[in-house]
Structure 1
Amino acid sequence: MDSEEATRARLETAAAHACRNVPVAAPEDTARAVVARMRGQRYDTAAVVAVCAENRLRGLVTIEKLFAAADSVRLAEIMDSDPPAVAGHNDQEHALWKALRHSEPGLAVTGPRGEFLGLIPPHRLLTVLLEEHDEDVARLSGYLKSAAGARSASTETVRRRLWHRLPWLLVGLVGAMLAAGLVDAFQAQLERQVLVAFFIPGIVYLADAVGTQTEAVVIRGLSVGVGVERIVRREIVTGLLIGALIALAAYPLTLLLWHAAPVSAAVSLSLFAACSVASAVAMVLPWIFAKLGIDPAFGSGPLATVIQDLLSILVYLVVATAVVG
């Protein structure tokens, strides 16, 4: 990892967002003593009091609980003893995901031995949320892989715009040539039944839509530490059900409009198969990227689209040849 990448990695960790100047108290401290100690002090954030013993985090107390407690109540009695905390080296998106699952207005950051490093306040969590949103949108577009780049994309030069976008579009161009070759291979079938060709765009679009939905779920899961193995079974079942439902809806609709039962059957079977295959591709590709140490969102979208389109066309033309004849 070069120095620029190392610096960016450090800036994207939970510790980089932690505020050190926060109220800290011991478990045996009383509410009255802590409030008195806080008066006249200036903190980076005072929404949460960190309860520590020997510099190790023991719990968190919100400012609302602190002021509502009786003067003699010890913090150990009102603190959240299982607070939302994240290791300092963890990715900022993991920190954000963990914070959103708890009710405290802040997230504790700890070191390798449980030592207290600071608190991530709500406004910084919102900043991380915005950065990660910008970054994910840019990466899914396949031309940027950093939040800073996402923010500057609207003002960059024409040369930079071409450099960021053209490589993936060239991948798409290769895919388009392969798709044309597939259609040409089935030219005789299409000449015998021209109606078959009418449904190629629709099948490609629906398969892409299903794949995009699955890909979004998988990439978001990977980004917050949810492994593909926890997603795969439900997504496979979902993809099969979506394909079946779309196929069931397509058959009577195409039959009513074009009165060609063999073509309607081919379209329905192809939709079921293409949607199922697209869902599988959308799961496997980000997983492969993650295993290779490549950001699963960077380039998955454009590459998955090319693969899904080619497979959808191939599935449809093979099924149409077998069913229509």
Structure 2
Amino acid sequence: MDLKWVPEDEGAADGANDAVVGAIRQLIRDKNKKAVRKVLAHWPPENIMELLVRLPLKAARKLLEILPDQTSSRVLSELRPQYRAAITRDETVERLRELIRRMPPENALDTFRDLPDDVQDRLGPDLKSFEGIQASRAFEKESAGEIMQRRHVALAPDRSAAEAVEALQRASDMIGSVDTVFVIDADNRPIGAFKPRALLLVPPDTPLSKIMSREFPIVSSATDQEEAALATAGTEFKSLPVVDNDGRLVGQITTKMLARVVAEEAAEDMLKLGGVNEDARPTDSVPKILRNRLPWLLAGLVGATIAALIIGSFEEELEKAAILAAFIPVVMSMAGNAGLQASVVSVQALAMGSNWPGDRLIYRFGRELLGALLNGAIAGSILASLILGGSLVFEVADPVRLALATSMSLLTVTTIAAIVGSFVPLALNRLGIDPAAATGVFITTSNDVVGVLVYFLMASTFYF
């Protein structure tokens, strides 16, 4: 049986999905669990969530019991709190509890963190035996302490390479693959680190103090997870030691978790650059869509209104040469694209931990300026050629002056937009403002206003 869910934004979705709901209900009534699992095996969690909401409550509970444990946990994280509370009976929570207990520690922590807060609260008291879950809940949200794994390999500096190999062998069953071994002093403070492969390159009796590197990143448990991910940039160590307020080693952030943090933060930055709140989801309700998007749209509306007022102030010029209006979208589009390109590069660089102090900042300014001038000159030359070529076919008043005005406009707005796009994120970052959140709407608005103003100033100078 091949049943597929039609997204709600596609035409005829309701009719097609009603048939799917009816077919699934019948399979549930027939207690055909195998068929239900086969049908939903490749459905994304958000589609299963929509199915659950459309089913009667009793059928939805039975479906949640039929689904594999991993799928159930992902679907629960997508459900609205009110409906989730009704659907998660004691049997469901018990299945999740057993699922987490059977998982390796790191996977269990990942699954537990993905569950909604209310489900975590119901599971938490019965998982005291699993130290990692309880410990992670004691830290701030999205902090290094919350995402760290408490199990790690840490040895004294006077231990030998042979002893380190034995320790790794013992730890492999408990932790799995080990990316970094930490060296600690008598007070459990990390003083060095090394990669396990280093043990293959030295005699067995070599002390770890001769193997370890003293240059390695360390973060405190209160450090934000994004800052923690950036701490490993440019180092050979991809697992990160986490210390408490006294500098004692309390855990590590694994390579897998760091990669996950980077991916999550990149996704959030993309949403912010697009003028959408970071918690926006494809399944958002209409009120939530309004809350997440309308403020940014209104901010853009302010900029567009200012640009329109500037255009209106040049009404006399437009009456004299209506053809000028045809090139307003060209100039505004070039300004917007140039600014967006530059700002995305800057935000990405900041996200990766790059900064440009002193002479490096001057060098980057010169590089961006030269690149913007070349881009603007090439784009302006192409537009001028098109205008002059078009004047041979269509009647254009004073095509040479028009080509000069529009090409100079493109050169100027592209240069200004690229410089503003490059350095506004840096300035916002210095002021403690998230550059990804503010850059998109700021760049778009400023470029619209500046682009229109520059265009008409150039037209007044070269065309009239």
The TM-score bracket by the shorter chain reads: 0.7 to 0.9
Q: 2:245, 2:376 → 1: CA distance?
A: 47
Aligned-partner residue type, residue 32 of structure 1: A
Which deviates further from its counterpart, 246-255 or 198-207? 246-255
Contact 1:48 1:63 in 2 (8 A): yes
- Cα distance 1:239–1:175, how it changes in 2: closer, same or farther (>3 A)? same
Q: 2:178 matched to which residue of 1?
A: 46
Contact 1:45 1:121 in 2 (8 A): no
Q: 2:288 matched to which residue of 1?
A: 160
Does residue 1:310 correspond to 2:449, yes or no? Answer: yes
Cα distance, 1:72 vs. partner? 1.5
Cα distance, 1:176 vs. partner? 2.6
- Cα distance 1:208–1:32, how it changes in 2: closer, same or farther (>3 A)? same
Q: 1:160, 1:31 → 2: CA distance?
A: 57
255, 274, 280: which one aligns with 2:413: 274
Does residue 1:286 correspond to 2:416, yes or no? Answer: no
Does residue 1:64 correspond to 2:192, yes or no? Answer: no
- Cα distance 1:244–1:116, how it changes in 2: closer, same or farther (>3 A)? farther
Secondary structure at the aligned position of 2:175 is classed as coil
For residues 245-287 of structure 1, the C-alpha deviation after alignment (integer angstroms, 9 at most, x for no partner) is 4334433343233361111111111111111221233245435
Question: Alpha carbon RMSD of aligned pairs, Å?
Answer: 2.8
Does residue 1:299 correspond to 2:431, yes or no? Answer: no
Count of aligned pairs between the two proteins: 315
Q: Kindly, what percent of the aligned residue pairs are identical?
A: 30
Q: 1:144 matched to which residue of 2?
A: 277
Cα distance, 1:14 vs. partner? 2.9
Aligned-partner residue type, residue 335 of structure 2: A
Q: 2:223, 2:371 → 1: CA distance?
A: 32
Does residue 1:252 correspond to 2:378, yes or no? Answer: no
- For residues 166-205 of structure 1, the aligned pairs below 5 Å read 166-205=294-333
Q: 1:28 matched to which residue of 2?
A: 158
Cα distance, 1:209 vs. partner? 1.1
Q: 1:164, 1:131 → 2: CA distance?
A: 18
- Cα distance 1:163–1:228, how it changes in 2: closer, same or farther (>3 A)? farther
- Cα distance 1:249–1:97, how it changes in 2: closer, same or farther (>3 A)? farther
Cα distance, 1:227 vs. partner? 4.3
Aligned-partner residue type, residue 102 of structure 1: T
Aligned-partner residue type, residue 280 of structure 1: I
Contact 2:139 2:145 in 1 (8 A): no
Secondary structure at the aligned position of 2:170 is classed as coil
- For residues 115-134 of structure 1, the aligned pairs below 5 Å read 115-134=248-267
Cα distance, 1:162 vs. partner? 1.2
> Higher Cα Rg: structure 1 or 2?
2
TM score, norm. by length of structure 1: 0.85
Contact 1:195 1:263 in 2 (8 A): no
Contact 1:12 1:91 in 2 (8 A): yes
Q: 2:139, 2:290 → 1: CA distance?
A: 27
Q: 2:170, 2:418 → 1: CA distance?
A: 58
Q: 1:18 matched to which residue of 2?
A: 148
* Higher relative contact order, structure no. (Cα contacts within 8 Å, ≥ 6 residues apart): 1
Contact 1:168 1:299 in 2 (8 A): no
Which deviates further from its counterpart, 248-257 or 261-270? 248-257
- Cα distance 1:77–1:245, how it changes in 2: closer, same or farther (>3 A)? farther
Cα distance, 1:9 vs. partner? 9.2
Cα distance, 1:110 vs. partner? 4.0
Aligned-partner residue type, residue 50 of structure 1: F
Q: 1:12, 1:44 → 2: CA distance?
A: 24
Q: 1:9, 1:37 → 2: CA distance?
A: 29
Cα distance, 1:312 vs. partner? 0.1
Contact 1:20 1:117 in 2 (8 A): yes
Cα distance, 1:228 vs. partner? 6.2
Q: 1:264, 1:113 → 2: CA distance?
A: 68
Cα distance, 1:311 vs. partner? 0.8
Aligned-partner residue type, residue 190 of structure 2: L
- Cα distance 1:110–1:255, how it changes in 2: closer, same or farther (>3 A)? farther
- Cα distance 1:156–1:117, how it changes in 2: closer, same or farther (>3 A)? same
Q: 1:298, 1:82 → 2: CA distance?
A: 34
Contact 2:149 2:254 in 1 (8 A): yes
Q: 1:226, 1:99 → 2: CA distance?
A: 12
For residues 215-264 of structure 1, the C-alpha deviation after alignment (integer angstroms, 9 at most, x for no partner) is 12332344455446554624344333433343344333432333611111
Q: 2:159, 2:311 → 1: CA distance?
A: 76
Contact 1:51 1:59 in 2 (8 A): yes
For residues 75-128 of structure 1, the C-alpha deviation after alignment (integer angstroms, 9 at most, x for no partner) is 222223322434444332233233242233422334566543432211101110
Cα distance, 1:20 vs. partner? 2.4
- Cα distance 1:105–1:307, how it changes in 2: closer, same or farther (>3 A)? closer
Q: 2:325, 2:139 → 1: CA distance?
A: 49
Q: 2:335 matched to which residue of 1?
A: 207
Q: 1:87, 1:257 → 2: CA distance?
A: 65
Does residue 1:95 correspond to 2:228, yes or no? Answer: yes
TM score, norm. by length of structure 2: 0.61
Secondary structure at the aligned position of 1:40 is classed as helix
Contact 1:139 1:298 in 2 (8 A): yes
For residues 135-190 of structure 1, the C-alpha deviation after alignment (integer angstroms, 9 at most, x for no partner) is 11121122314xxx14xx11110111011111221222233332222222222222
